[in-house]
Amino acid sequence: MTKRSVAMANEPLSGRIAVVTGAARGLGAYMAHALVRRGATVALIGLEEPELQRVAASLPGRARYWSADITDEGALTDAADSVRQCLGPPSVLVANAGVVAGGPFLHSDPAVWRRVVEVNLIGSCLTVRAFLPGLLATRGYYLQIASLAAITAVPMMSTYCASKAGVEAFAHALRAEVAHTGVDVGIAYLSWTDTDMIHTPVLRELRAGLPWPAGKIYPPQQVADRLVRGIERREPAVYAQPWLRAVQALRGGVPGVVMRRSRHQLHRLVSRGDIEATGLVGEGGRADEAARSAGARMPDG
């Protein structure tokens, strides 16, 4: 085996096309950096064109960006066609885009919890539908970003947990469906990652009441690097933190533990009046709301 062959074997992403949704900021942007450092050409998909441009310009390798709402099937199809024409068929798809809302379900805005499910679950499915033909051509790998919330639901994040449990089930089903084609499907499980999504009062209070290490915050680049190593190995389950593997094994008993702890914590928070619905949180949530508002204001024709 030549030195070049050895190098290529050690760099499975070298020369590959990788698509990352939700790439304008947060974990998506960090994953784009990690993929480029490993030799991939990255197609960035997101809502905010200026932020996508900034991320693409900051990457130390080949990258292009496409502005698209992942809940818009037509826009995603157009983006997938353009990626194929400009870069080639993708070998990697990372369905990362997502939004978060917290607070009591009963008092939350129905439009907000519908949007969480629409983006996190339906948007992920539409993303795969658009890019799966490319993955079939390359016998590629699809990584669905799930969460600790897919393993064990927690109060004040009921809609987010439902959406992440949904994409986990979707990815499991799709894995079995496409296994004979050579396409592999992975699910990424991660705990609190230090992005602007998690720094709201409700989520901060919720995190403070969790036992160690469930309440710990992890650096986003560390998380992104671990997920990209999982992509290189085409792992069916990628755990950003090793302890999540143990939680997975015990997931049947975890909801009861969560209920017993939260019963006391929520009583205290309700007594203090510290629980309010958040709406979509973080810069990504505000970008989503702005994009939908702009779309609503556009005239017909």
Active site residues: 160
How many CA within 13 A on the CB side of residue 158?
Answer: 15
State the Cα–Cα distance between residues 36 and 112, nearest whole angstrom: 34
> How many Cβ atoms are within 10 Å of 103's Cβ, its own excluded?
26
How many CA within 13 A on the CB side of residue 92?
Answer: 33
Rounded to 10 degrees, the C-alpha dihedral 120/199/59/116 comes to: 10
CA 80, 86, 92, 96 torsion-angle sign:
negative
List the one residue out of 101, 98, 87 whose CA is nearest residue 42. 87
State the Cα–Cα distance between residues 192 and 195, nearest whole angstrom: 9
**Cα 220 from chain centre:** 12
State the Cα–Cα distance between residues 39 and 24, nearest whole angstrom: 20
Contact 44, 23 (CB under 8 A): yes
Our CA angle for 61, 98, 62, nearest 5°, is 10
Q: How many angstroms separate the first and last alpha carbons of the chain?
A: 61
